[in-house]
Amino acid sequence: MMMLPVAAAPPADTERRIQELVARMTLDEKIGQMSQSSGWSSPLSDKDHAEIRAGRWGSYLNAGTLQDKIAAQRIALKESRLGIPLLFGRDVIHGYRTVFPIPLGQAASWDPALVEAAARVAAQEAAADGIHWAFAPMVDIARDPRWGRIAEGSGEDPYLGSAMSAAVVHGFQGRALDAPGSIAACVKHYVGYGAAEGGRDYNTAWIPEVLLRNVYLPPFRAARDAGAATFMSAFEALNGVPASGNTFTLRKVLRDEWHFDGFVVSDWNSIAEMIPWGYAADEADAALKGVLGGVDMEMVSTTYYDHLKSLVDAGRIDVRLIDEAVANILRVKFRMGLFDRPVEPAKFAMESPESLETARRLAQESIVLLKNEGAALPLSKSARVAVIGPLADSAVDQMGSWVLDGRPEDVHTPLAAIRALAGDAQVAYAPGLENARDTSHAGFAAAVAAARSADRAVLFLGEDAGLSGEARSRAFLNLPGAQEALIDAIAATGKPVIGVIMAGRPLVFHDAAAKLQAILYAWHPGTMGGPAIAGLLYGEASPSGRLPVSFPRTVGQVPIYYDHMNTGRPPSEAERGVPAGTPINPKGDTSRYVDVDVTPEYPFGYGISYSVVKYENLRVSAPRMSKSGEITVTADLVNTGARDADETAQLYIRQLAASIVRPVRELKGFQRVRIPAGEKRTVRFALRTADLSFWNARGEFVAEPGQFQVWIAPDAEHGLRGEFRLE
């Protein structure tokens, strides 16, 4: 992957201003800069005014109206002793007023340029409302779909995750942090939070350093190299040390190795939460370990403000550490131009036609066609269609988790979009269930009647918005409520049934899938999800999404991910799908289950379209590659169907022997290619030494000589294979 340019060093004048300002600050004012409040009353109270004048807080999150923020900033700049501006933060996770697909859905587009454009829209809308700072992107690698926050990231792969991480940073921050419409990114959750044990939120993670460096750190490094202004420490304990007190990740890696010079903010209350973890004895000890660990700003909890002064007075913390943290915070404020920017923000339109079109395009590209038996899709506009399921017309659920500023009244639902395309007379609607978790069958009769009156049924299935996101871990991954019974009832009519699944994670629906002729996986697609879904259902475009995460056959396979290590007894190709005996009398002594195939239900990178693209004629430019050279890998992609297709060709490698066991495949490149019907396109990838390198057991980033396999493939399970040797 091509490395993005590292942000330029701050001008000497900025550093001079920072040092002069720190020298003038009292200890109370310094600790105020290191403190973030969760908000205030609206309008501002006398107490709020007094605290801002005194420099009590350096930042606010979720703070009041635009006019409140303008008033507060005017007080900070004009009435406080040193005129230090406030920093206003907000959870701008997948859009502001215009809501885009959840980040996991955005990753399914495999289109970083479009993801960057969406982040730019979100930044401009947030900036127009006085927001300076977004608590995003979340770049945690997640390989356990039970974890609710898998919805907020880009899935299981470090290469794809790095591409999406950099795209969001570039979209938020634009060409310059101090430009109108730019907001600071906050890369989270640093680091390893996606590996929380058992998929349980806020839990512990055990990640060996080799795995940490090869898998979990790369998307954070990509964000840093893209110029990310801030990082957020995570909730979990990493290898026994809470992330907000972890000197290895925050000081050794982030500061010493990556030379990051922005600031680190804790996650909500996570400094104080080092006490229940058993890592800090009390609040003073938590404040001590937070600062020593490398957290510059404390979010919401007040251990810093309450205890740092006494810790400095007692000689337990060197004031130079305080000065360093404050300088990091001020550096970002200077880079954003907050000292010199007008108090009133620049105006940008909310939900402009352009932003809505970006949202529609991204939703369309994120939707993955998993099945299309007998060319059940696309639908004909002359056919009568039964639209069934509560998620067909639920604006709130369509937006998904972590939507603070989107409005349900702005959402275009699938039901409305289908009616607009096909005409009201061609559409019968019955929700069948009151909501996605409803267990009552009371609405089934109306849904069955609607299906019988139609030529085809489109059944909207999945999770409501409240079932994924923070603190939404699930032990079961099945369709909730009575949805599977509803599928049975509709399938019993004999009418073809198309399933559209909205969810914040991979779900398990093997038995249900057998009763559906076609399946579109739409994630939670945001404001314009309805038109995107309807356009795909009726063939106005061909599906092009690809899975950013493996889908398990059953929850018992979790964790399941494509770039796993091999074993000394790997299952053979002949064993795939073959019953492996019983627990008493298993067949074959290989690393597999006795009661389910070892493969995923749908592999990483998978997705089909309304056409068929064949991969042909793989060429590897040379049998050997020197450490200073490169290998070019090419293949022909032929669209054998009658419709144009957007194909995502994926490049994978495998090193067959090395000093540590290497994954069976690793993604090293991808290209979205438009291929007209009946035509051929050639894709070309270049591999260099850096692409073949990894962190070894000695903590070295190395390329080791040896034999490599290489694939150009439509997903992580298939493709054309070649070989070469690194000398």
Question: What residues contact 5, with CB distance under 8 A and at least 6 apart?
Answer: 225, 227
Beta strands in 533-679 (DSSP E): 613-620, 624-625, 630-639, 645-655, 666-675
CA distance linking residue 507 with residue 547, whole number of Å:
12
- Identity of residue 182: S
- Write the DSSP symbol of residue 256: I
From the list 111, 129, 144, 267, the catalytic residue is 267
For tokens 């057998």, what's the residue? 514
* Tokens, residue 229: 């202004």
Are 497 and 427 spatial neighbours (Cβ–Cβ below 8 Å)?
A: no
Nearest residue to 603 via CA among 370, 328, 422, 416: 370
Catalytic residue check, 157 = no
Cis peptide before 158 (omega within 30 of 0): no
What is the per-residue DSSP string for 534-575? Answer: HHHHTTSS------SSPBPSSGGG-S--TT-B--SSPPPGGG
In terms of Cβ atoms closer than 10 Å to its own Cβ (0-12, 13-18, 19+), residue 563 is buried
Question: What residues contact 238, with CB distance under 8 A and at least 6 apart?
Answer: 191, 192, 204, 205, 207, 246, 249
- Identity of residue 516: L
Estimate the share of the chain in helix, then strand, then coil, as percent rounded to the nearest 5.
Answer: 35, 20, 45
Question: What residues contact 132, with CB distance under 8 A and at least 6 apart?
Answer: 87, 88, 89, 183, 184, 336, 338
Cα distances from 372 to residues 182, 293, 300, 525, 598, in angstroms, run: 42, 52, 49, 21, 24
Cis peptide before 43 (omega within 30 of 0): yes
Are 529 and 415 spatial neighbours (Cβ–Cβ below 8 Å)?
A: no
- Centre a 10 Å sphere on the Cβ of residue 211 and count the other Cβ atoms it contains: 16
In terms of Cβ atoms closer than 10 Å to its own Cβ (0-12, 13-18, 19+), residue 424 is exposed
Cα distances from 176 to residues 170, 180, 197, 229, in angstroms, run: 9, 9, 39, 11
Angle subtended at Cα 195 by Cα 653 and Cα 590, rounded to the nearest 5 degrees: 55
For tokens 């000689």, what's the residue? 315
Are 184 and 158 spatial neighbours (Cβ–Cβ below 8 Å)?
A: no
In terms of Cβ atoms closer than 10 Å to its own Cβ (0-12, 13-18, 19+), residue 78 is exposed
Residue 204 has phi, psi (to 5 degrees) of -85, 155
Active-site amino acid positions? 267
